Copies of this chain bind each other. A is one copy, B any other.
Amino acid sequence: MSQKDGVKKHELHALSGAYDTYLEHDESEKNHFDDVCRAFRQHATFVMSQWANHQFRLHALPQSQRDLLPDALKHGTPDFNKRASHYKDAAIRNQFCFDCMLRHAGVPHSQQQVTPITKVPSDEQMSKITSVLKSLARDWSAEGKRERDMAYVPIIEQIKKYMPLSDLLPHDRPTIAVPGAGVGRLAFELTKLGYAVQGNEFSLYMLLASDFMLNGGIATPDRPLRISPWILESRNSHSSADRCRSIPIPDVDPTTLLNSGGNAMPPIFSMAAGDFVSIYSNPSEAGKWDCVCSCFFMDACPNIVEILQIIHKMLKPGGYLMNFGPLLYHWSGPPMRPDDESPDAYHSRFQHLDDRYLKSVDLSYEDVKETMMKVGFEVVEEHVGMESLYTADERSMQSTMYNCVNFVARKRRSEYVKQEL
């Protein structure tokens, strides 16, 4: 991931168009926006390349081995044609979903490409496109409920426990920031409960998808879109039908709720597009928030000490940090070697990499907790070993199980005040 994966500047938007202002910024931001849209447009083309690759590989087997394959893997048989057609359907289905997002964003979709394609997105970009599909399944499908119950429900219950709403007037609703909001379900659920919520997301891939889901008004439980998020998973499949299966999104209608104010209180919701550190370290954010709700987020930044400082600063005295997640440290980076005789030698080996990959300090949870205390928090509730999945295919033979840490920390009211000045 490069700096270009998100907006650098601080952008606040009410209910839609979190990325509109991209086009008003400098050339590099516009180019990044174009790159992301181009990747969205080429998903199906990539999916079909994988089909071609599988055919090449099968064809390279000796005839004596090809004879032993199921009919569905023999070119031209009825079973083959049926499977090919299911695969292609899945590619088109996903592309239609991406095209809807592009249309909502007001840019050409895959069917409107007027100039010939001269630039093919990188494998890394295409993998981000697939992550969008998997995140949509996690956040907005009935199949994703199992994951949401594991990760979101504990946090939501803690928010309800420590910041009950019942007695509050509309303008007293607690303010909650949700960094790493992804495609928006957790932020949406908290808004639905009546909290004043701001999601924050860095990745433009995710922003395009969340804006479409929350504000597009196209996909509803009655007229869902269908996606096949696992179409590119050739490994650990029980059957090709598992890979090609489609799941409907969404399982709830976010637009009705957010726009109509069907609630007694009109919803308060915004998205802040851009880097968490640059947005929330702004002095105007200091002491403004009742709660930061961090779900699979704290380990997504290279410097966890800085993250804790910023969260502490942005909270009101007595405000809460609710955390749920592992410590994967996405920016952990490659190992150092004995022949790297200095930090410079180590860094110079990886000049092609985003510099953040060489910076993560990878603290253990024990050290995170001690740092958190010194920053000025007190832990009021803590659970370890909470099992959780993240965009797992429930039909795959392989899944990553996270044994998460879940805690509620409170910004101390009186102590450490000096540190903050």
Q: Is the CB of B68 within 8 A of A374?
A: yes
Q: Is the CB of A398 within 8 A of B400?
A: yes
Q: Is the CB of A364 within 8 A of B58?
A: no
Number of interface residues of A (CB under 8 A): 79
Q: Is chain A's binding surface mostly helix, strand, loop or mixed? A: mixed
- A238 in contact (CB, < 8 A): yes
A309 to B359, CA, bound (A): 49
- Partner of A367 from the list B240, B346, B400 (CB cut-off 8 Å) is B240
Q: 8 Å CB contacts to B: which residues of A223-282?
A: 232, 234-240, 242-243
Which residues of the other chain, B, contact A42 by a CB distance below 8 angstroms? Answer: 338
A364 to B370, CA, bound (A): 47
Residue of B nearest to A359 (CB): B57
A73 to B366, CA, bound (A): 12
Q: Is the CB of B403 within 8 A of A45?
A: no
- Partner of A68 from the list B61, B375, B405 (CB cut-off 8 Å) is B375
Which residues of the other chain, B, contact A239 by a CB distance below 8 angstroms? Answer: 364-367
- A334 in contact (CB, < 8 A): yes
Min C-beta distance of A64 to chain B, whole Å: 8
The answer to whether residues A235 and B58 also contact, given A49-B337, A364-B243, A405-B397 and a CB cut-off of 8 A, is no
- A158 in contact (CB, < 8 A): no
Copies in the complex: 2
The answer to whether residues A327 and B235 also contact, given A68-B305, A335-B46, A397-B404 and a CB cut-off of 8 A, is yes
Which residues of the other chain, B, contact A400 by a CB distance below 8 angstroms? Answer: 398-401
A56 to B42, CA, bound (A): 42
- A326 in contact (CB, < 8 A): yes
- A284 in contact (CB, < 8 A): no
- A1 in contact (CB, < 8 A): no
Q: Is the CB of B327 within 8 A of A52?
A: no
Which residues of the other chain, B, contact A70 by a CB distance below 8 angstroms? Answer: 366-367, 370-371, 374
The answer to whether residues A340 and B401 also contact, given A234-B332, A309-B65, A335-B123 and a CB cut-off of 8 A, is no
- Partner of A327 from the list B237, B299, B308, B404 (CB cut-off 8 Å) is B237
The answer to whether residues A336 and B69 also contact, given A327-B397, A366-B239, A402-B398 and a CB cut-off of 8 A, is no
Chain A 30-42 interface mask (CB, 8 Å, partner B; 1/0): 0000000000001
Q: 4 closest pairs, A vs B, by CB? A: A53-B336, A70-B370, A326-B397, A239-B366
Where the two chains meet, the residues of A that have a C-beta atom closer than 8 Å to any C-beta of B are: 42, 45-46, 48-50, 52-54, 56-58, 60-61, 65, 67-70, 72-73, 120, 123, 126, 232, 234-240, 242-243, 299, 303, 305-306, 308-309, 326-329, 332, 334-340, 343, 346, 358-367, 370-371, 374-375, 384, 396-405
